[in-house]
Amino acid sequence: MTPFVDIAFLILSFFIMATKFKPPEPVEITTPGSVLSQKLPENNAVMISIDSSNKVYFSVLSENAPEKYTTIINGINTSQNLGLSPAQIANFRKTFMVGVPFSGLKELLSTDAKDQPKLNQPGIPVLDTLNNQLFWWIRESKSAFAGEKLNYLIKGDGKSKYPVFEAVISALKRNEEFKYNLVTALDDIPSGTELYIKERAGEKDLKK
């Protein structure tokens, strides 16, 4: 039995070391599948999440450059005249997702990051074309990451409706951004299709 146990513990230690825990997300989002196996960027990205009840959330992914968080929230604070306190601004760094209109931002940022998932966030207003607040979030992120590559991740729940997605796209378009990454789960390539044949032939470039 000894070799057997040895191997078992070897596997165990491998998995313990290889596993990276994701931070708990305040909203549950089940992404649809796609056949593309591109990796998700973890830095220099903003993530726009749409949950199953069509609420829109905004989050910044910038672990390598934490000062960007401050730049973005300061920009929002100034452009929207929110009058946030320095403590509230500092709390934005820990806030995992923003899903409130500007009027509710003060309350969200006054809440400790641990208790934020308990708040019932109404989502960022996007459907009203005159008051598409996501536009401002993207604008500030864009200026904070000026000169660097910024990825726009859209993570939508499979059940969310198309008009919300369209409103998110229009907020990005208004910022002159036309390239997005949709977050998906990995699906198998259906056999017999053109892509399947191409993959088998060893052609790696899936794009045009």
Partner 1 sequence: MASIDTGGGDGGHKKGPGVKKAKKLSTRVDMTPMVDLGFLLITFFVFTATMSTPTTLDLNMPKDIKDQKEQTEVKESSVLSIMLGKNDQIYYYEGKLTESGDNFKQTTFKGIRDIIINKKKEVISRYVTDPECEAKAKAEGKPISNCADKDFVVIIKPSPEATYKNTVDILDEMTINQVRTYAMVKIFDQEFELIKATEAGGGIK
By CB under 8 A, name the binding residues for partner 1.
Answer: 1, 5, 8-9, 11-12, 15-16, 18-19, 21-22, 31-41, 50, 153-166, 169, 172-173, 178-187, 189-190, 193-196, 198, 206-208
Query: Least separation, in Å, of the C-beta of 89 and partner 1?
Result: 30
CA gap 164, 185 in Å, rounded: 20
Q: How many CB atoms lie within 10 A of CB 37?
A: 10
Query: Least separation, in Å, of the C-beta of 158 and partner 1?
Result: 3
Burial 153-168 (b: 16+ CB within 10 A, else e): bbbbbeebeeebbebb
Query: Least separation, in Å, of the C-beta of 14 and partner 1?
Result: 9
Residue type, 124: I
Residue type, 103: S
Query: Least separation, in Å, of the C-beta of 61 and partner 1?
Result: 12
Closer residue to partner 1, CB minimum distance, 90 or 183: 183
Closer residue to partner 1, CB minimum distance, 14 or 79: 14
Q: Distances from the Cα of 149 to the Cαs of 139, 165, 208, in angstroms? A: 14, 23, 21
Query: Least separation, in Å, of the C-beta of 83 and partner 1?
Result: 35
Closer residue to partner 1, CB minimum distance, 65 or 197: 197
Burial of 138 (0-12, 13-18, 19+ CB in 10 A): buried
Closer residue to partner 1, CB minimum distance, 9 or 85: 9
- CA 101 to chain CA centroid, Å, is 18
Q: Which of 89, 55, 66 is nearest to 144 (CA)?
A: 66
Closer residue to partner 1, CB minimum distance, 5 or 87: 5
Closer residue to partner 1, CB minimum distance, 22 or 149: 22
* Three-state secondary structure call for residue 124: coil
Query: Least separation, in Å, of the C-beta of 166 and partner 1?
Result: 8
